[in-house]
Amino acid sequence: MYWQRARRSRSTFSSRAYALHYFVFLSYLACTACGKRHEWGRLQNLCTACSKPLFAIYDLEAVRKLDCLKQSSFEARDTSLWRWRELLPLPKGAEPISLGEGGTPLLRAEKFGAEMEVDLWIKDESLNPTQSFKARGMSVAVSMAKFLGAKKLAVPSAGNAGGAMAAYSARAGLEAHIFMPRDTPRANVVECREVGAHVTLIDGLITDCGAEIARRKEKEGWFDLSTLKEPYRIEGKKTLGYEVAEQLDWRLPDVILYPTGGGTGLIGMWKAFSEMEKLGWIDNRRPRMFSVQAKGCAPIVRAFDSGEKFAPEFPDAHTIASGLRVPKAIGDFLMLNILRESKGGAIAVDDDEMIRAVREVGSEEGLFVAPEGAACFIALKELRGAGKIDSGEQIVIFNTGSGIKYLDCFET
């Protein structure tokens, strides 16, 4: 038995939960801004001192010392993201809420790559349950919320996060309350309702949906699962980083292009890279990380270009790539730090070009990508043209969702 018994005060657990015997490498939650430590053994949202996001901190030294856990041990495990169990927050003995998320293919984009003269790979996240990478975050967050005693969950969503939260809540037997902008793609709305969620459509943006939840959550008894406003969606998303490293034989690519809204995937991968280095699995080289946004909603691009530490709210946000329609992100300072530290950048793409790129990628590579994923291919062309990516470099693009959820955007 190599799992550690979590040393926690009894008062932070319900007696039933405590009785289960927890073995876990999760040590505590740390504020990403002021560093204040928080107990993980109860439901937590933001830092109680400064209202910034919390990160899960593990005893990686203990994981590193495990004789029976090496990089190669993972090959024998099942392909879902729960294969990284020692690096996830759910204690042993608690059953994950899983639909088989993670373990997606890293596909070579031969033709597009040859045109760009780069070694191009696509991490195809459309193969996740509910057809997007949001399944990763929700599997871990819903598992932890249930474990820690939540009964009713609420989330503001641009579309895909709502669908994933609805599905995992149904599986967990928890109530799901989803707030979406009225113009969210129809597929996302129908999907949420058909898996039993309570859906409210709001005349406004995702930030207005979040504000509505904040207003009502205490009275309604909802636990708020908003992006980065609880600590575990990012833990699910960080498995993107572990998988890419494993799929590239524990050598990270030169460049990562990531379609950015709230930024959990970007921030999560960066966290994974640092964990893997502490585990001795990779060296200190990092990819240049690029945030790809839509011209109609590019707060991170603007803040990056103007050298700001935080990204002010982007006015009149609009784009057909609904996942990128996030005018203000609570993790803005974390993203901007990563883009700068990695010597990457941020780039905005036009909606019409995204739609054209869906067909280009589809007909060349055989994938019906989401507009968010397509945006990264345009970004690659522009970054190559601007000399920010060299020929022969290895690039990973994240296709975060499926075009099938966006049929309203395409002519028939």
Ligand X SMILES: Cc1ncc(COP(=O)(O)O)c(C=O)c1O
The residues, ordered by sequence, that sit 6+ positions from 207 with a Cβ below 8 Å of its Cβ are 156, 313, 326, 327, 328
Residue 187 tokens, joined: 């597929």
**Comparison of 4 and 293: residue with beta carbon closer to ligand X:** 293
**Comparison of 278 and 340: residue with beta carbon closer to ligand X:** 340
**DSSP string of 293-329, one letter each residue:** EETTB-HHHHHHHTT-SS-PPPTT---S-GGG--S--
Task: Using CB under 6 A, pick the residue from 32, 80, 132, 342 that binds ligand X.
Answer: 132
How many residues interact with Zn ion (rule CB under 5 A)? 8
Cβ atoms of 245 and 121 within 8 Å: the answer is no
Stretch of residues binding Zn ion (CB under 5 A), selected from 48-56, 193-201, 342-350, 397-405: 48-56
Task: Using CB under 6 A, pick the residue from 262, 296, 344, 345 that binds ligand X.
Answer: 262
Judged by DSSP in three states, 113 sits in helix
Residue closest to ligand X, measured at CB: 323
**DSSP string of 30-57, one letter each residue:** EETTT--EE-SSS---S-TTT---EEEE
Task: Using CB under 5 A, pick the residue from 6, 24, 31, 56 that binds Zn ion.
Answer: 31
User: Binding partner of residue 50 among Zn ion, ligand X, none, CB under 5 to 8 Å per kind?
Assistant: Zn ion
**Comparison of 253 and 261: residue with beta carbon closer to ligand X:** 261
Provide the minimum distance between the beta carbon of 159 and ligand X in the complex, in angstroms, as a whole number.
Answer: 6
The per-residue b/e assignment along 70-107, b for 16 or more CB within 10 angstroms, e otherwise, is ebeebeeeeebbbbbbbbbbbbbebebbbbebbbbeeb
Interface with ligand X, residue 259, by CB under 6 A: yes
Return the residues of window 353-412 that contact ligand X according to CB under 6 A.
370, 372, 400-401
Q: Which residues are bridge partners to 258 per DSSP?
A: 291
Cβ atoms of 264 and 320 within 8 Å: the answer is no
Interface with ligand X, residue 323, by CB under 6 A: yes
Task: Spell out, one character per residue from 77 to 96, where the chain touches Zn ion: x when CB under 5 A holds, - when not.
Answer: --------------------
Interatomic CA distance for residues 152 and 30, integer angstroms: 25
From residue 214, alpha-carbon distances to 161, 162, 319 in Å are 17, 16, 25
Provide the minimum distance between the beta carbon of 321 and ligand X in the complex, in angstroms, as a whole number.
Answer: 7
User: Binding partner of residue 323 among Zn ion, ligand X, none, CB under 5 to 8 Å per kind?
Assistant: ligand X
Question: Is 203 exposed, middle or buried, given 0-12, 13-18 or 19+ CB atoms closer than 10 A?
Answer: exposed
Interface with Zn ion, residue 37, by CB under 5 A: no
Cβ atoms of 365 and 107 within 8 Å: the answer is yes
Task: Using CB under 5 A, pick the residue from 20, 21, 39, 50 that binds Zn ion.
Answer: 50
Return the residues of window 161-220 that contact ligand X according to CB under 6 A.
161
Interface with ligand X, residue 319, by CB under 6 A: no
Interface with ligand X, residue 265, by CB under 6 A: yes
Q: Which residues sit at the interface with ligand X, rule CB under 6 A?
A: 132, 134, 158-161, 227, 259-265, 323, 370, 372, 400-401
